[in-house]
Amino acid sequence: MTNSPSNAPEATLSIRNLSISYRAARGMVRAVRSINLEVKPGEALALIGESGSGKTTLGLSMVRLLPNTAQISAGEIIYRRNGKETNVLSLNRHQLRLFRWKECAMVFQAALNAFNPVLRISEQFADTSRAHGYLQGKALEERAHELLRMVRLEPERVWQAYPHELSGGMRQRVLIALSLLLEPQLLILDEPTTALDILTQRNIMDVLKDLRTRLNFSLIFISHDLALAAELADRVATMYAGEIVEQSDVYTAFKNPVHPYTIGLINAVPTLTAHKDNVSSIPGSPPDLINLPTGCKFHPRCLAADAICTQQEPKPEQAGDNDHLVACWHWKTAAKSLAERR
Amino acid sequence: MTSEPLIELRNVTRSFSIKRGTNIKAVDDVSITIDEGEIVCLVGESGCGKTTTGKIIAGLLKPSSGQVLFHGQEITRIAAANQRQYRLGVQMIHQDPYASLNPSRTVYEQLAAPLQRHVFTSGKSSLVRDRAFELLELVDLTPANDFLDKYPHQLSGGQRQRVSIARALTVTPSFIVADEAVSMVDVSIRISLLNTLLRLKEKMGLAVLFITHDLALAKFFAWEGRIGVMYLGRLVEVAPARQLVAAPQHPYTKVLLSAIPEADPDTTRKKQHIQLRSMDIPSMVHLPTGCSFHPLCHLFAGETCEKIVPELSHFKDGSAVACHPAAQAHQADQAAKGG
């Protein structure tokens, strides 16, 4: 926009030094540890990593939906719109209600559970709209139908349907439309295509690409599917044991990853074009989040690890240009030494 | 053919009745053979009948019509003694290692039960323990002594799935049906689990039917074997794995391959996607006439496709396709090459 203040575009969301733990019988589960992350206006960020790496916990914290057993031990989450800053973690109940959906909306993994089963789709829209003091009646219907068409659904067909009458892919698209109802500036998608069939998955991806060019919101999507990240993301952040171990633009992430875990993860996923011999697993298994290893949390599985890795935890540092950050003692040599060991 | 196939399905159909007396054919007229030591991956979207086919082969479901042959003998007709041979010869590995192991039994107990029942029916228990130890080493759960007395909850998902594999191997089967066996295991360790299965296949001459929705994974696992693609209960294409991915023939296979995103930003963003004629994916309940893919198909060739259900046409290169236009194209191609 031309009339906006002349400073450089400020991040829509800034997460600083965030740590989250869950109380469990055996002790504290350290799900997210000292995370720093920024999402710029209009940017799509992919959070990739395996189950238990803290992706969903991080996503839930952004809309303050963490369960009661979770405890945010440090850090802050700053949200910005039109130069106004909001400290997400200090919002009271009323402010939170205004923040969610209108500023930041989240679409969850299980699309059927997100609906009220006894309400028609039209009523789900009306319900949300009423709760936020937004459009009603004819105006709402027009806005909702426009959104439904944007997600490639025929409004006439789904408007009066109950959630159970729609297929998984249709429900997922209705949810995306519903999440955009109040024109949020940030959309968080948790595993948006997991459990969907290939053709449905393709459809959702195309819908998301299309929506982004039309509506220009920021997008954070959480996924263990690397291919989805390669196709949709501008930036990729790799999580391991509650930490972001590497973040960069999407091309660097896939073409020139420097963290041994990112490298390993990319090599562990067979692709349609890869030769069988170029695919290999990462040895060992993900750590116990209650009893984390000393030093670098990845060292027990890392082929490039040496003494320093077992003792001291590496801090994220700049690797080359393009905002490429990596937390590894040996990032300069890791790619080469891993290739030699394979 | 010098020897008969290990498993053969002949026109196998399995219907289920759903509400109001409606019948659906979860598996419809499927014929396929699997040789000893061969790997076949069955791929398709949810509800295409791949799991039902797997269960029929494993003897957990009876076909409504058609025949299942094990070493050339029809399994519903073989005598009781041979029935046992079949039951032991074909083992299944299930999807969810959190549900398929008994939570109140140790790893040793899970393995000892089938060993005592079928292998060491008399004799010392030390033999059983030795064999359990060997089996754990075979599936790379080492040091095996550390695992024998653990309960499933003390193991990771990948380790549990290895225990499931070891349990399937207790009765030294010749054939394993693995239904989405790695889909619940962490991405970073899936390949090592599959490599273990591949090594066992080499070592013990196992044949494996691997059921998955992931074509890239199927290509990896069936590198030397074949992939079969199912759509709405029917087997629509079978071919050597790498050939199927590189040169698919059935329009449905082509659509699937074109729709799959790839873990490379350049490739995946430039990929051409085949546009379907319609996005209304048909269901088993309202199956289209003729070829059930015709309402979506980009190769749609009119009346033939609408009226006649295409049979699987087999070709010399080991591929087979159930599609009128694709089969014609293949034959024309062969004729051109031959002449």
Contact B216 A254 (CB under 8 A): no
- Tens of pLDDT, residue by residue over A14-65, are 999 999 999 998 899 999 999 999 999 999 999 999 888 999 999 999 999 9
A277: chain B residues, CB-CB within 8 Å? none
Residues A26 and A175 in one domain: yes
DSSP string, A16-75: EEEEEEEEETTEEEEEEEEEEEEE-TT-EEEEE--TTSSHHHHHHHHTT---TTEEEEEE
A69 part of contact set with chain B, CB < 8 Å: no
| Residue predicted with more confidence, B335 or A219 | A219
Hey, is A322 helix, strand or coil? coil
Task: Tell me what the mean pLDDT of segment B224-234 comes to.
Answer: 96
Nearest to residue A317, comparing CAs of A271, A270, A259?
A259
The verdict on A303 touching B (C-beta cutoff 8 Å) is no
The average pLDDT across A77-89 equals: 93
> Per-residue pLDDT tens for B151-177?
999 998 889 999 999 999 999 999 999
> CA-CA distance, A265 to B191, in Å (whole number)?
11
Res B253 pLDDT > 60 = yes
Here the contacts of A147-156 (C-beta below 8 Å, separation 24 or greater) are A147/A177, A147/A178, A147/A180, A147/A181, A148/A173, A148/A174, A148/A177, A150/A177, A150/A180, A150/A207, A150/A210, A150/A211, A150/A214, A151/A176, A151/A177, A151/A207, A151/A211, A152/A203, A152/A206, A152/A207, A152/B279, A153/A177
Domain assignment of residue A4, yes or no: no
DSSP B65-107: EEEEEETTEETTTS-HHHHHHHHHHEEEE-S-TTTSS-TTS-H
The pLDDT of B225-240, averaged and rounded, is 96
Residue A6 lies in a domain: no
d(CA B143, CA B225): 32
Q: Give all strands (DSSP E) within chain A, no chain letters.
A: 13-24, 27-39, 44-48, 70-81, 84-87, 104-107, 186-190, 218-223, 235-240, 243-249, 317-318, 325-326
**How far does the CA of residue A229 sit from the closest CA of chain B (Å)?**
8
Residue of B nearest to A255 (CA): B264
Place A112 in a pLDDT band, splitting at 50, 70 and 90.
low
- The number of helix segments (H) and strand segments (E) in chain A equals 12, 12
Residues 6+ apart with CB under 8 A from B180: B51, B95, B211, B212, B213
pLDDT of A330 higher than 60: yes
Number of domains present in the structure of chain A: 2
What domains sit in chain B, N to C, each tagged with a CATH number?
7-104+174-246 (3.40.50.300), 247-339 (no CATH)
Separation CA B237–CA B239 (nearest Å) = 7
**Residue B327 per-residue DSSP state:** H
Is a pLDDT exceeding 90 seen at residue A92? yes
Percent of chain B with pLDDT over 90: 71
Residue A150 belongs to what domain range? 13-233
Q: Does B156 touch chain A (CB under 8 A)?
A: yes
Mean pLDDT confidence for B263-273: 92
Same domain, A81 and A119: yes
* Residue A39 lies inside a defined structural domain of this protein: yes
* A202: chain B residues, CB-CB within 8 Å: 259-261, 273
In a domain, A322, yes or no: yes
| Residue after which a domain boundary falls, among A233, A251, A268 | A233
* Residue of A193, A198, A261, A265 to mutate, testing the B interface (most B Cβ within 10 Å of its Cβ): A198
Q: Which residues from A are below 8 Å from B256, CB to CB?
A: 198-199
Q: Which of B45, B186, B192 sits opposite A51 (nearest CB)?
A: B186
Within a domain: A1: no
* Residues linked to residue A37 through DSSP beta bridges, in sequence order: A15
**Same-domain check for residues A247 and A221:** no
In terms of pLDDT, which residue wins out, B281 or A74?
A74
The answer to whether residue A89 is domain-embedded is yes
Q: What is the DSSP letter of A77?
A: E
Are A251 and A308 part of one and the same domain?
yes
For residue B43, the surrounding DSSP H or E stretch is: strand B39-43
Q: Find the helix packing angle between A137-150 and A121-131, rounded to 10°.
A: 120
Q: Examine the fold and report which residue of A233, A265, A297 is the final residue of a domain before the chain moves on.
A: A233
Question: Does A282 reach chain B within 8 Å, measured CB to CB?
Answer: yes
Instruction: For residues A179 and A54, state if they share a domain.
Output: yes
- Same domain, yes or no: A271 and A298: yes
What does A119-154 look like in DSSP terms, one character per residue?
Answer: S-HHHHHHHHHHHTT---HHHHHHHHHHHHHHTT--
Q: How far is B30 from chain A (nearest CA, A)?
A: 22
For residues A286 and A322, state if they share a domain.
yes
Contact (CB<8Å) A285/B159: yes
Which of helix, strand or coil describes residue A211? helix
Mean predicted confidence (pLDDT) in B220-231:
96
Is 80 exceeded by the pLDDT of residue B274?
yes
B162 vs A: CB within 8 A: no
* Long-range contacts formed by B241-244: CB under 8 A, 24+ apart: B241/B41, B243/B317, B243/B318, B243/B319, B244/B219, B244/B319
pLDDT at A32: 95
The per-residue pLDDT for A4 is 41
- Give which of B197, B107, B108, B200 is closest to B156, Cα–Cα: B107
Nearest to A38 by CA among A17, A12, A62: A12
Tell me: do A156 and A282 sit in the same domain: no
Q: What is the DSSP string of B260-301?
A: S--SSHHHHHHPPPPPPS-S----STTPPSSSTTTTT-TT--
Q: How many CB atoms lie within 10 A of CB A307?
A: 10
Tell whether A164 and A302 lie within a shared domain.
no
pLDDT confidence bin for B126, thresholds 50/70/90: confident
Q: How much of chain A, in percent, has pLDDT values that exceed 70?
A: 96
Whether residue A156 sits in one domain with residue A111: yes
Strands of the sheet containing B7-18, edge to edge, are B22-34, B7-18, B65-70, B73-74
Q: Looking at beta carbons, which residues of chain B come within 8 Å of A251?
A: 265-266
Whether residue A276 and residue B220 make contact (CB cut-off 8 A), yes or no, is: yes
Question: What is residue A322's predicted lDDT score, i.e. its pLDDT?
Answer: 67
Q: Is B332 on the interface with A (CB under 8 A)?
A: no
Answer yes or no: do A43 and A129 share one domain: yes
Nearest to B100 by CA among B5, B48, B213, B177: B177
Collect all residues of chain B within an 8 Å Cβ-Cβ radius of residue A206: 273
Q: Give the nearest partner residue to A271 out of B191, B216, B265, using CB atoms.
A: B216
Q: Which of A199, A225, A282 sits opposite B255 (nearest CB)?
A: A199
Closest residue in B to A285 (Cα–Cα): B189
pTM here? 0.90
Token pair 């740590």: residue: A19
| pLDDT computed for residue A237 by the predictor | 97
Strands A104-107 vs A186-190: parallel, antiparallel or unpaired: parallel
Confidence at residue B80, expressed as pLDDT on a 0 to 100 scale: 76
Residue B1: its pLDDT value, please? 45
Say yes or no: B279 contacts chain A, CB-CB below 8 A. yes
Residue B302: partners with Cβ closer than 8 Å, 6 or more residues away:
none
List of residues 6+ apart from A79 with CB closer than 8 A: A12, A13, A85, A86, A88, A99, A103, A104, A186
Closest to A173 measured CA to CA, from A157, A185, A186, A184: A157
Split at pLDDT 50, 70, 90, the class of A5 is very low
Structure tokens given for A113? 């559970």
Distance CA(A282)–CA(B277), nearest Å, equals: 42
CB proximity B229 to A under 8 Å: no
Contact B187 A269 (CB under 8 A): yes
Nearest by CB to A276, which of B46, B223, B276?
B223
Q: Are A114 and A124 in contact (CB under 8 A)?
A: no
Question: To the nearest whole percent, how much of chain B has pLDDT over 70?
Answer: 99
Which among A233, A255, A272 is the end of a domain? A233
Residue B263 has its nearest CB partner, among A230, A283, A285, at A230
First CA to last CA distance, chain A: 50
Averaged pLDDT, A89-107: 91
Q: Which amino acid would we find at residue B51?
A: T
Using one digit for the tens of pLDDT, what is the confidence trace for A129-164?
998 888 888 999 999 999 999 888 889 989 999 998
Q: Which of A292, A161, A219 is nearest to A45 (CA)?
A: A219
Chain A closest CA to B264's CA: distance in Å?
Answer: 6
Residue B136, number of CB atoms within 10 A of its CB: 23
Residue B220: its chain A contacts at CB < 8 A?
270, 274, 276, 279
| A268–B245 C-beta distance less than 8 A | no
Do A218 and A283 belong to one domain? no
d(CA A252, CA A248) in angstroms, rounded, equals 6
- 8 A C-beta contact, residue B292 and residue B44: no
The span from the CA of B227 to the CA of B222, in Å, is 7
Tokens of A272: 């349609």
Nearest CA in chain B to A209: B269
- Using a CB-CB cut-off of 8 Å, the residues of chain A touching B190 are 268, 281
B123, B148 Cβ separation under 8 angstroms = no
Nearest to B190 among A227, A254, A281 (CB): A281
Contact B35, B240 (CB under 8 A): no
Is residue A310 one of the residues assigned to a domain?
A: yes
Residue type, B160: R
B227 closest CA partner among B321, B310, B315: B321
CA end-to-end span of chain B: 28
> In chain B, what residues touch A203 (CB-CB under 8 Å)?
279
Residue to test with chain A: of B160, B230, B264, B280, most A Cβ within 10 A: B264
Alpha-carbon span B191 to B201, nearest angstrom: 15
If you measure CA to CA, which chain A residue comes closest to B158?
A: A285
CA angle B62, B64, B65 (to 5 degrees): 110
Q: What is the mean pLDDT of chain A?
A: 90
Neighboring chain A residues of B223 at a CB cutoff of 8 Å: 276
Q: Which helix (H) or strand (E) segment is B130 a member of?
A: helix B125-138
Residue A118 has a pLDDT of 93
CATH assignment of the domain containing A49: 3.40.50.300
Q: Is A207 on the interface with B (CB under 8 A)?
A: no
Mean pLDDT of chain B: 91
Residue A2 lies in a domain: no
Chain-chain contact of A270 with B268 (C-beta, under 8 angstroms): no
How would you label A138-159 residue by residue, b for 16+ Cβ within 10 Å and e otherwise? eebbebbbebbebbbbebeebb
Return the pLDDT at A111: 62
